[in-house]
Structure 1
């Protein structure tokens, strides 16, 4: 059952704005209390909602997304910041040589909000981001751990029942794909969900990559209830209980969102 925000770009943008203003921004400010003049890039910026509160605080921002149609939507929401030169919106791959040439060592903060779980080679991109950071720069990540109840993004299913079934994405690939087909999901949904099954990331895998790529974790927060649920479903955010957050692997199943700030060593 596609939720309203999946179909309504304006609603989706506003939910991103509210979540960013209330939760993402305060988390980033633990490392960067003074926001005015901060240079920020978001990878996978979509409609630009996450960047909006940062722009309001005087940050200079670059939004990058591989989907040109989403960049065009972002332009409609953020035209005033494009006009005053505070924002650039780019439909491009950040691995492109000309992108690196223009933005090497440029950003104090790089944001990947609900993005890393969709990227195939996560180790490559986390390592690559170092080249885009200033000497004081850090990277913010927010993502749902793969093993959490809806870590497979099955909420996008057209079938209402299937969209609400927790943990179904943990089935073996052939069985999962068969169930999706049995409940009448279209080719586009099946492809999207199988892609997420290939790229979903656990807390432990993320932290191993961070360590191998020689970053240190400067801030970390686990949520029992994802902050975005407040705007999508009217359910208040709740930080994960610390004893649960300390149990490796198990914590993935009951933690619906994690926030990190990481910095090169």
Structure 2
């Protein structure tokens, strides 16, 4: 059963704003103050809700998304900031030569919120971000570990049963596809879920890539209950039990969200 926010852009935007203001920004500000004039870019900005509290703090922001429809929505929601020059919204691939030419070493903070798990070749993009950061810049990541109960994003399924079933994304590809098809899912939904199966990322793999690409982790936080579940399922956020955060591999199965800052 697809959730209401999957169909309602205004609701989705408002939830993004509240989640960013209540959880994302306080996390970031533990390691770096967000001050007027700070240069911020969000990759996969969607409707712009995550950037809204940063704009309210006076940051100069750039939002990038490959989906022109979502960029159009962001332009509508944040038209005042666009018009006064505080925000630029771009539908473009960040690997484009002209994008790098314009924004090389430009950003004090880069945000990827619920984005890295959708991007192929995560090692490439994490390494590439060094080209866009200022010398003291940092990158924020928030993502669901692949092995967690709904790490496959099956909550987007139209079938109420499939949307609630945990761990089905861990089935072998042929079985997973067959289950989705038997449940009546549209071919576009099946394709999206199979793509996520290819790009889902674990805590260990993320930390390994970060180290390989010459970054260091400056701050991290693991959640037993993802803050976004407050809006999706009415559940109150809960941080992960400390000892579990130090159990390699096992922690992925019971950690529904992680936040990282790297530099």
Fold conserved (TM > 0.5)? yes
Shift in Å, 1:127: 0.3
Aligned to 1:72: 72
Shift in Å, 1:34: 3.9
Supply the distance in 1 between the matched residues of 2:76 and 2:192 (Cα, whole angstroms). 26
Aligned to 1:102: 102
Aligned to 1:41: 41
1:31 match: secondary structure = coil
Aligned to 2:54: 54
**Cα pair 2:177 2:190 within 8 Å, conserved:** yes
Match runs of 1:238-253 below 5 Å: 238-253=238-253
Aligned to 2:221: 221
For 1:24-56, what per-residue CA distance to the aligned partner results, in whole angstroms no more than 9, with x for missing partners? 001111122242211000000000000000000
**Cα pair 1:142 1:258 within 8 Å, conserved:** yes
**Cα pair 1:15 1:232 within 8 Å, conserved:** no
**Cα pair 2:240 2:255 within 8 Å, conserved:** yes
Match runs of 1:250-265 below 5 Å: 250-263=250-263
Aligned to 1:144: 144
**Cα pair 2:34 2:57 within 8 Å, conserved:** no
Supply the distance in 2 between the matched residues of 1:43 and 1:49 (Cα, whole angstroms). 13
Supply the distance in 1 between the matched residues of 2:178 and 2:98 (Cα, whole angstroms). 43
2:174 match: secondary structure = helix
**Cα pair 2:34 2:54 within 8 Å, conserved:** no
Aligned to 1:131: 131
1:10 match: secondary structure = helix
TM-score, scaled relative to structure 2: 0.99
Shift in Å, 1:229: 1.1
**Cα pair 2:34 2:59 within 8 Å, conserved:** no
Supply the distance in 2 between the matched residues of 1:131 and 1:11 (Cα, whole angstroms). 34
Supply the distance in 2 between the matched residues of 1:160 and 1:92 (Cα, whole angstroms). 35
Match runs of 1:133-212 below 5 Å: 133-212=133-212
TM-score, scaled relative to structure 1: 0.98
**Cα pair 1:18 1:231 within 8 Å, conserved:** no
Shift in Å, 1:143: 0.1
**Cα pair 2:148 2:254 within 8 Å, conserved:** yes
For 1:126-183, what per-residue CA distance to the aligned partner results, in whole angstroms no more than 9, with x for missing partners? 0000000001100000000000000000001111101000000000001100111111
Supply the distance in 2 between the matched residues of 1:232 and 1:201 (Cα, whole angstroms). 22
2:48 match: secondary structure = coil
Supply the distance in 1 between the matched residues of 2:34 and 2:155 (Cα, whole angstroms). 37
Unpaired segments ≥5 residues, structure 1: none
Supply the distance in 2 between the matched residues of 1:35 and 1:231 (Cα, whole angstroms). 28
- RMSD over aligned Cα, in angstroms? 0.6
Q: How many matched pairs?
A: 263
